[in-house]
Amino acid sequence: MDITNLTYLFYGYTAAFIVITAFVLLLVSRSRRIDRELTRLKAMVEDREKA
């Protein structure tokens, strides 16, 4: 077995999964931020309508 070859194969798949995972984490973080913002704004609208 060619270990150099195996090492690069490992690097390749690891790099691919790092990119995909980083993108998923970015999406999750953005979703949370958007949900928080939407909830905050809706609460502000309700407060202003009451006032």
Partner 1 sequence: MREKATYLLAVLGALVMIYNLHVIFTGLPDDALQGMIFRIIFIHVPADLVADTFYTVALVTSVLFLAKKNFLYDSITVSCIEVATMLILVNLVTGSIWGRNQWGVWWTWDLRLTTQLMKFVLYLGYLIIRPAIAEPTQRATMSSIVAIFAYADVPLVWMAIRLPNVRTNHPSPVLGNGKMAAVYNAPFGMGMLALLLIGSALVLIRLHQETSQREIDSVRRELHAI
Q: Which residues bind partner 1 (CB under 8 A)?
A: 1-2, 4-6, 8-9, 11-13, 15-16, 19-20, 23-24, 27, 30-31, 34-35, 37-38, 41-42, 44-45, 48-49
* Tokens 């995909």, residue located: 20
- In angstroms, what is the minimal distance from the CB of 38 to partner 1? 5
- In angstroms, what is the minimal distance from the CB of 42 to partner 1? 6
* Tokens 């939407």, residue located: 38
Residue type, 40: R
Six token digits for residue 9: 């194969």
